[in-house]
Amino acid sequence: MDIKLLFLPVFVSFGFSFLNLLFYGIGRNIRKYLSIFGSLLVLISSIYILKYSVALHSSTLPNWENLSIFFAILISAISLFCIIYSQWYNPSANFVYDSLFFLFTGSMLGVVLSGSLIYFYVFWELMTISSFFLVLYENTEESKNASIKYIVMTGAGSIFLLFGIIGVNFIEKGIIWKHLFFFSIFIGAGVKSGLFPLYSWVPETYPSSPTPISAILSGLASKMGIYAFIKFYFTIFQPGWSIAWENLMIITGMITLLSGVLLALIQHDIKRLLAYHSISQIGYIFLGIACGTSIGLCGGLYHLLNHSIFKSLLFLGAGILIKMTHSRELEKYGRFSSILPFTFYTFSIASLSISGIPPFNGFVSKWIICQALLEKKTGISIFAMIISLLGSALTLASFIKVLNDAFLGVGKGEIKEKINERTPLIIIPFGFLALGCIVFGISPSLVINKIFSPIIGSIPTLNIKLINFISFWGYLSILVLFAGYIYLSRQTRKFKEKKVFVGGENIPKEITDFDGSHFYKTVYETNGIKDFYEIERKGLFDSYRISEKLFNFSSRISNKIEIFFSDVIYQKGREIILFITEKFRTFQNGLLPRYIFWIMAGLIFIMEVLKRW
């Protein structure tokens, strides 16, 4: 395989990044086309390298070339949609933004396409640095804090990953070595993808970065952690090399899933909410991969693909709402379905997908993950499956809140900026992404045969007939949905208001009407869950803040140690020397006889020495 040609998308991306820097003076209109054209070219070159995909040679391991190409096409497609959208969202963006965007995309492509680990790490760090500047791009107070948190956490994570990469050569030296290297890789990949105790940068960074960047960060960059983890776990450490780690991974995935979705339930900020959902979905993906079986890997990868599609769609949709109201608060939205029907439909498709409602893609992948967990047949994995079902239900609850608050609902949103959603810059990305949600949902057997079988090999235990049956059901339900669309498109444009009478008394609207977010206060006040929220509010899950405190504490102690040693070595040494010289001063008191005495004594001493020699 020609390694140079495999890097073609990376070269194209970096080339356009450089072009944007070179022609920094050209107008916004030309740059718009340059960027879209460049991104399209990246996608074409990613599809072009498909011809380097190789036939399956092993039935148990993932096939690296094909996995890389799968990731490359996913990355270039999503980033194409994001850059089309970003021409509408951020029309005044300067050349730095576009250049960094291509650098970011190119480095992600480099991460997945590089064969050697040192290239992998170089691109990994480039990805971290370029995304840091993209997060910082808006230069608000919030984004400054968030970007520092982001770079510090992911930077520390990637140094841990570096230790794992170095460890590849030393893995056979002992069992403690293996555990420590696995721990490093777990931390490194976990920070990037946002696993349970390490996700605290996620809910800060996604909201404060520009919306297309949050879509990419959530849809693609967090998947790089998963990719790195698959890469190390399935080749260097064989799956199942340690039962303890496997159980720990399933537990981590479970907690990530549940804590993400529980925290998402009480959010008011739409992007923060989506960020917490992103954490929870990563938990699903991680559960699938932690199984270590081919069906688990298939489920994980399928969910990864689906999550990239619907999460970027959700973020882009949120961007429209933000741009319209200049606010991220859900309370400021309401009844936008009449103004933004297209956004409403696509957003609801994505919401249903993320909650795992049957005809859409989220359902299929969650199904496969649940099956993988069941096949594991350990107590923890069965429990994890139950938790994942619960998580799915809570996700649906959360997204009903969003749909209700933003598009339907009682409140009336205040429109600060008029939005025309009927531009190709919105319709193309939204349309394709929503189509992806449907297509990957109703034809799972096709997707598994065409995309995942070349990567993973045969999946013996996967009941493809059952999934086919469900997809048939899905075709049917699409018809129902289409009918529903025709019905809804009439209904959603008008809002009916009914007066409320209690005991013949007309109750004012303010008392009877509630926002969705008010409704979810009951969730907050439920016993048991409330304790969880209280612990979170105290910041006990925030690994950043905890380690900051820890470091401050240890630096005070180290300072003490340092001052102590400085005293002992320098000050005490100085004092001792001064003390001795003080004593010597008594020898010379300025009287001549004493000097003569010392001279005589010295002479006698020297003569005595010479005599004996």
- The set of residues, in sequence order, having a beta carbon less than 8 Å from that of 495 and lying 6+ positions away, is 335, 338, 408
Q: How many CB atoms lie within 10 A of CB 174?
A: 10
Q: How far is the CB of 573 from another protein (least distance, A)?
A: 7
Q: Which is nearer to another protein, 473 or 553 (CB)?
A: 553
Q: Is 598 in the site for another protein (CB under 8 A)?
A: no
Q: How far is the CB of 118 from another protein (least distance, A)?
A: 6
Q: How far is the CB of 139 from another protein (least distance, A)?
A: 8
Alpha-carbon torsion (585, 587, 593, 599), positive or negative: negative
Dump the DSSP string for 139-196: --HHHHHHHHHHHHHHHHHHHHHHHHHHHGGGGGG-HHHHHHHHHHHHHHHHHHHT-G
Cα–Cα distance, 441 to 447 (Å, whole number): 9
Dump the DSSP string for 336-388: TTTT-HHHHHHHHHHHHHHHT-TTSHHHHHHHHHHHHHHHH-SHHHHHHHHHH
Cα–Cα distance, 283 to 391 (Å, whole number): 10
DSSP state of 7: T
Query: Is residue 282 a contact partner of residue 298, using CB atoms and an 8 Å limit?
Result: no
Query: Is residue 344 a contact partner of residue 336, using CB atoms and an 8 Å limit?
Result: yes
Query: CB under 8 A: which stretch of 169-177, 318-326, 403-411, 588-596 binds another protein?
Result: 169-177
Residue that the structure tokens 């510090």 belong to: 152
DSSP state of 501: E
Residue from 4, 57, 58, 118 that binds another protein (CB under 8 A)? 118
Q: Is 600 in the site for another protein (CB under 8 A)?
A: no
Q: Is 125 in the site for another protein (CB under 8 A)?
A: yes
Q: Is 130 in the site for another protein (CB under 8 A)?
A: no
Q: Is 472 in the site for another protein (CB under 8 A)?
A: no
Residue from 24, 48, 170, 487 that binds another protein (CB under 8 A)? 170
Q: Which is nearer to another protein, 329 or 562 (CB)?
A: 562
Q: How far is the CB of 182 from another protein (least distance, A)?
A: 13
Q: Which is nearer to another protein, 423 or 558 (CB)?
A: 558
Query: CB under 8 A: which stretch of 252-260, 309-317, 492-500, 549-557 binds another protein?
Result: 549-557
Residues that contact another protein, how many (by CB under 8 A): 43
Q: Is 580 in the site for another protein (CB under 8 A)?
A: no
Q: To the nearest 10°, the Cα dihedral for 243, 228, 383, 461?
A: -80
Q: Is 418 in the site for another protein (CB under 8 A)?
A: no
Query: CB under 8 A: which stretch of 65-73, 117-125, 249-257, 515-523 binds another protein?
Result: 117-125
Among 89, 105, 324, which residue's Cα sits nearest to residue 210? 89
Q: Is 488 in the site for another protein (CB under 8 A)?
A: no
- The binding track of 560-579 with respect to another protein, each residue x by CB under 8 A or -, is -xx--xx-xxx--xx-----
Cα–Cα distance, 307 to 139 (Å, whole number): 29
**Phi and psi of 158, rounded to 5°?**
-75, -25
Q: Is 177 in the site for another protein (CB under 8 A)?
A: yes
Residues in contact with another protein by the rule CB under 8 A: 118, 121-122, 125, 129, 136, 144, 147-148, 151-152, 155-156, 159-160, 162-163, 166-167, 169-170, 173-174, 176-177, 180, 184, 551-552, 554-556, 558-559, 561-562, 565-566, 568-570, 573-574
